Structure 1
Amino acid sequence: MNVQSLASHGLSDDEVAHYHEHGYVIPRWRLPADRLERMRADLDTLLASNAAVGSDSMFCPHITGGGTQGLKGSNIWLEHASIPEILDSVGQLAGSDFLLWGTTVFGKPAGTGKRVPWHQDGEYWPIRPLATCSAWIALDDATPENGCLRVIPGSHKQRRLRAHTRKDSPDLVLNQELNAEEFNEADAVDIVLEAGQISLHDVYLVHGSEPNRSDKRRAGYVCRYMPTTSHFDHAYGAELQKRSGQVDFANRALWLMRGRDVCGLNDFQIGH
């Protein structure tokens, strides 16, 4: 499917340079107050409709079919993934031809929100060559106290996947954790955001977050965009699902957000 919108905004040269140097950027642009209010109301609806699904990570709320979790999603989350100002910024970083291949709501409830282990996202994504720009939209204030995102600046530069180990634990959001010798946690930076701010991240960036020990929720909506010079390989996605046991990549729906499918291999029929 094709979701097109006209360019209306973008990152400054300094913001683009910061992204390429550090692997992330917090743009000066933020959600308008009315959009933030709508998204927070839509989050309340999503949580109420999926009480049986843990809110730490809710995969693909923009897909109504449910996926691995059986989530009751809504097209409204596709609209929230199509905000023109965000797409403009992604286009500057990922190129003018790109698609949306995934979204996640990270609810991180007060007091019980789980730790996200240090990891690289691409360790378990069926994208070849590996490329994705993730937009993290803060629906609540994100602080060190409630478990904001933490990153290792510059860890994307080697353009390689580092060694991870599978670690199944009820206390972790993900079951893949970066081996300790692969990074220096002392280099970590907290991504502190006010509700309505966004941050953009490279696929190779090492990141994680602490549990939420505060009395305030830390909800965010993450949208995954990849350049169409890369191929989202659904067949390989089926193998990854068997390995991780978490996400259904074999039937993942894709949406063309800007431009065209450059590689000509991406399947926009699966999952729709």
Structure 2
Amino acid sequence: MCSLRPGDIKVTPKSVFAELPDNYKISEEQFKFYNDNGFLVIKQLIDFGSLYSYKKRFSQICNGVVPRGQVTVVKEPKLVKEMKNAEDYVNKLQDILYDDVYATYIENPRLLHVVSQFIGDNLSAVHTMLINKPPGTGRHPPHQDLYYFPFRPAHKIIAAWTAIDDVTVENGCLYVLPGSHKGGVVYEHGYTEKFNRMYHGIMAEGTVAPESKRVDLEMSPGDTVFFHPALVHGSRPNVSKNHRKSISCHYASSECHFIDITGTVQQRIADEIVAESRRRGMELTYEEIWRYRSKHVKGMKSNL
């Protein structure tokens, strides 16, 4: 059994949530926890006003009230035929970094201050999502985000994932495998079940991510988890009657550079994403796709 339980997760509550400062100092204890476990939860990092604006924007985009621009709308296949309202079958909005409202999260000074303390002051946003997870949405199998990224070094990449709604086991919270980021291994991924397109999971799930080692991250609105890209994690199915919204962004340091993933376990997903882009009429390499999805957000520009 895993020795780390949810109650052991190091968090630092703040007494004032209405108006938050633009900085948040990470303690030595928090640094150690992140380095040892591959993740860190900070309570009430993002204010309620911002969270409300993200929910409102989601509704506006889903219902065509505002142009979606470069945002990609991803639907939950099994819910599309069952539900009439878009908000009940849209699983997530992807590539939200150029949307005026969502850019306020990606470039939030308080969030960037935390990220900078982990990976440096020169930052690019490289992957962005508003995740909806309506009732009936299935699980996201255990995986590593690094599997998708054709750039390194891994320790100069970090994810920020903020709860917009209350996040519980019942409505599909994240789970993590503490310490699984260590060792520099990117596991073989693929379709272990009939998951949505691009939802690759670790093939040796029972060995790499047994249920006994998973720690559920139940979170309140504004709580934010930061995690290493090699950390094995996933999410539960939403078996509740409520939606579970969150917003996330992966950041990479200017020290990161593209690598050749030809012949590696990552080539499977690269080929699939390139094929999808061609289906949409875009002749791009995997590296070009990631350059297109990235945005410089702080300090000096990077190689991404």
Q: Normalising to structure 2: TM-score of the pair?
A: 0.72
SS of the counterpart of 1:26?
strand
- Distance in 2 (alpha carbons) for counterparts of 1:240 and 1:186: 28
Specify whether residues 178 and 233 from structure 1 end up closer, same or farther in structure 2 by C-alpha distance, changes over 3 A only.
same
Q: How does 1:1-272 map to 2 (within 5 A)?
A: 8-49=23-64, 53-54=74-75, 55-63=90-98, 74-110=99-135, 112-130=136-154, 131-167=156-192, 169-170=194-195, 174-180=199-205, 181-232=207-258, 240-244=269-273, 250-251=288-289, 252-261=292-301, 265-266=303-304
Are the counterparts in 1 of residues 151 and 256 from structure 2 also a CA contact under 8 Å? yes
Deviations 1:140-187 (A, max 9, x none): 111000010000001011122123233462467713334122233311
Instruction: Find the aligned partners of 2:259 and 2:124 in 1 and give their Cα distance.
Output: 14
Q: Does structure 1 conserve the Cα–Cα contact (< 8 Å) formed by 2:166 and 2:220?
A: yes
CA distance in 1, matches of 2:293, 2:74: 21
- CA drift of 1:117 comes to 0.5
Determine which structure has more spread, i.e. the larger CA radius of gyration: 2
CA distances 1:213-262 after superposition (whole Å, capped 9, x unpaired): 1001111111010111112469989985423556785332422222224x
Identity of aligned residues (%): 23
Tell me if the contact between 2:175 and 2:217 (Cα under 8 Å) persists in the aligned partners: yes
**Structure with larger RCO (C-alpha < 8 A, sep 6+):** 1
Residue type matched to 2:141 in 1? P
Question: Greater helix share, 1 or 2?
Answer: 2
Q: Let me know the Cα RMSD of the aligned residues.
A: 2.9
What SS is found at the alignment partner of 2:225?
strand
SS at match of 1:56: strand
Indicate conservation of the 8 Å contact 1:11/1:92, yes or no.
Answer: yes
- Residues 48 and 173 (structure 1), Cα distance of their counterparts in 2 relative to 1, 3 Å cut: farther
List alignment gaps of at least 5 residues for structure 2: 1-20, 76-89, 278-283
Change (3 A) 1:27 1:260: same
List runs of 5+ in structure 1 lacking aligned partners: 1-5, 64-73, 267-272
Aligned residues: 248
